[in-house]
Amino acid sequence: MRRTFVPLWMAAAKQPRVSAFVFLYTIEALCRVLPMSVVPLIANRVLGGAKEVSVAYFFVGAVALAACLLVPFAMRHLRRHGVITSGVVLYVVAAVCFCLPYTEALIAGLVCQMVAAACVEIAMSLFVMDHVPRQELGAFEPKRLLMVGATFIIGPWAGIELANGLDQSAPFILMGTFAAVFLAVFWFLRLTENPSVTQAFKQPPNPLTFLPKFFKQPRLRLAWGLALARSSWWIMFFVYTPIFVTDLGFSERVAGMSVALGTAAMLLMPMWGRIAKRKGTRVLLMSGYGIAGILSIAVTAASYSRDIAPIWLPVAILILAGIAATVIDGAGNVLFLRAVHPLERSEMTAVFTTYRQTAQLVVPGTLAAILSVLPLAAVFGVGGLGFLAMSWLTTFIPKRM
C-alpha cells in the first residue's frame, strides 16, 4: 500500500495551491486594468473622437484575434512556459509603447497588450485544468473572479489618478512592474504540464481546424456565445464610459470613478457564486443579462432626455448597469470548464478564449458604424438589446446547472 500511495501523496504535495493561481490571475489582471481608463481617453484626444477610437480598436482586435488562434501552434514549440513568458514580455513592451507620445506607439501598445492577454489566458487556463480538480472548479472560479474583480475596481480609478497626479506614464510603468512580478512568481512555482493534454511532440495542426469541432458541440457553442456577449458589454463599458462621462462635461477623475463604481459589485462574487449554487447558474445568468440589458437601454433613454433629466442621471444608471453585469461574472467560465473534454482541453481552450478577441473585433467595428449616424449614448442601448437577447439564450442552459 505504501509503495502505491506514498509517491502519489508526494506528487500531490508538490502541486501549487489554489491561492497561487488566484494570485497570478490577480497580478495579470492589474496589467490589463491599470491602463484601461487612461488609454481610451488618450486615444480620444489623439485620434479626435469616439468613432476614430472605435476604428483603431477594430484594427487592434483583428490582429489580436489572429494571434489568439495561433497560440496553440506557438505552444507546441515554446510549451506553455514559453508562451506565458512571451506574453509577459509583450505586456512590458506594451507599457513602453504607451509611454511614448506617438499615435503609432499607442496602437502598437494596444496590440501587444491584447496579444499578451491571449497568451497568458490560454496557457493559464490549461494549467488550472491540470492542477485544480474538476469538482473544485465551482469554488475556484468565484475566488479568482473576486480578486480579479477587485483589480477592476481599483485599477481604472488608480490609473487615472496616477496619470493626473504624477505623470501620464506612471500607470504604464506600474503595469510593467506588475508584469515582472507575475513572471517571477510564475517561474518560482515551477508548474508542471500534464503530458496527456499537451501532446508536445505531435505535428502542430492548423488552429482553424479546431473551429468546426468546437462549434458542433452545443454546450461549447452556448458557453462561447454567452462569454462573447459578456466580454462585448464590458469592452463597451470600459472603452466608452470614460469618453461618455467626459463628453457630458465631467472630469477625467469622475470618469475613472464611474468605471470603478460600476465594477464595485465584483466584490460580491462569493455571494453570486452561492446564489448560483442554490438557485442554479441558469437563473443567475438570466437575471444578470436581463437586468443589465434593461439598465443599459435606460442609459440611452436618459441621455436623450437631458433637457428634463439631471446631467448625472445617465452616469448613475450606467454605474447601476455595471453593477448588474457583475452578476454574470459570478458564474465565470464554469459552463465551458464543465463541458470541455479533458483530452481536448488545449485545442478547445484556444478556440473558447477567442470570445475575448472576437469581442474586441466585433464591438469597435459595430459601434464605429453606429457612431457614424448616432451619438455616443446609442452604443449603450445597442449593448442593452444584446444582453436581453442573451437573457433569452440562457434558457438553453441545462436545468441541473
The pLDDT tens digits for 227-245 are 888 888 988 898 888 889 8
More confident residue, 229 or 267: 229
Q: Which of 124-133, 250-259, 308-317 has the lowest mean pLDDT?
A: 124-133
- Domain carrying residue 235: 17-190+206-396
Q: Which residue bears the cell 437586468?
A: 291
Type of residue at 233: W
Residue 375's φ and ψ, nearest 5 degrees, are -70, 170
Residue 196 inside a domain? The answer is: no
Mean pLDDT computed over every residue of the chain: 79
Structure confidence at residue 174 (pLDDT): 92
How far apart CA 184 and CA 239 sit, in angstroms, is 30
Structure confidence at residue 60 (pLDDT): 83
More confident residue, 96 or 47: 96
Q: Of 13, 65, 33, nearest to 147 (Cα)?
A: 33
Structure confidence at residue 89 (pLDDT): 92
* Whether 35 contacts 98, CB under 8 Å: yes
Binning pLDDT at 50, 70 and 90, where does residue 1 land? very low
* Whether 324 contacts 291, CB under 8 Å: yes
Residue 278's φ and ψ, nearest 5 degrees, are -80, -45
Binning pLDDT at 50, 70 and 90, where does residue 7 land? very low
CATH of the domain at 369: 1.20.1250.20
pTM (two decimals) = 0.75
- Over range 325-346, report the average pLDDT: 73
Binning pLDDT at 50, 70 and 90, where does residue 168 land? confident
- Over range 366-372, report the average pLDDT: 86
Q: Which of 54-68, 216-230, 261-275 has the lowest mean pLDDT?
A: 261-275
- Over range 119-138, report the average pLDDT: 72
How far apart CA 169 and CA 167 sit, in angstroms, is 5
More confident residue, 214 or 387: 387
Is residue 101 predicted with pLDDT exceeding 80? yes
C-alpha distances out from residue 297 to 65, 284, 314, Å: 29, 20, 10
How far apart CA 390 and CA 375 sit, in angstroms, is 25
Residue 221 inside a domain? The answer is: yes
Question: Nearest 5°: CA angle at 364, between 362 and 369?
Answer: 95
Structure confidence at residue 400 (pLDDT): 64
* Whether 140 contacts 253, CB under 8 Å: no
Q: 324: which 3 cell numbers?
A: 448588474
- Over range 119-126, report the average pLDDT: 80
Is residue 202 predicted with pLDDT exceeding 50? no
Residue 109 inside a domain? The answer is: yes
* Whether 326 contacts 149, CB under 8 Å: yes
Structure confidence at residue 178 (pLDDT): 92
pLDDT > 90: percent of the chain: 10
pLDDT > 70: percent of the chain: 82
Residue 82 inside a domain? The answer is: yes
Residue 179 inside a domain? The answer is: yes
Structure confidence at residue 10 (pLDDT): 33
Structure confidence at residue 81 (pLDDT): 80
Binning pLDDT at 50, 70 and 90, where does residue 102 land? confident
- Over range 241-259, report the average pLDDT: 87
Query: Containing H/E element for 317?
Result: helix 313-329
Structure confidence at residue 292 (pLDDT): 92
Neighbours of 42 (CB within 10 A): 19
Residue 195 inside a domain? The answer is: no
Structure confidence at residue 332 (pLDDT): 65
Residue 365 inside a domain? The answer is: yes
Structure confidence at residue 17 (pLDDT): 62
How far apart CA 279 and CA 257 sit, in angstroms, is 33
More confident residue, 184 or 283: 184
How close are the terminal C-alpha atoms of the chain, in Å?
38
Cα 399 to chain centroid distance, Å, stands at 27
Residue 11 inside a domain? The answer is: no
Tally of domains in the chain: 1
More confident residue, 138 or 286: 286
Hey, what's the torsion of the CAs at 165, 170, 171, 175, to 10 degrees?
A: -160
Q: What is the DSSP code (8-state) at residue 166?
A: T
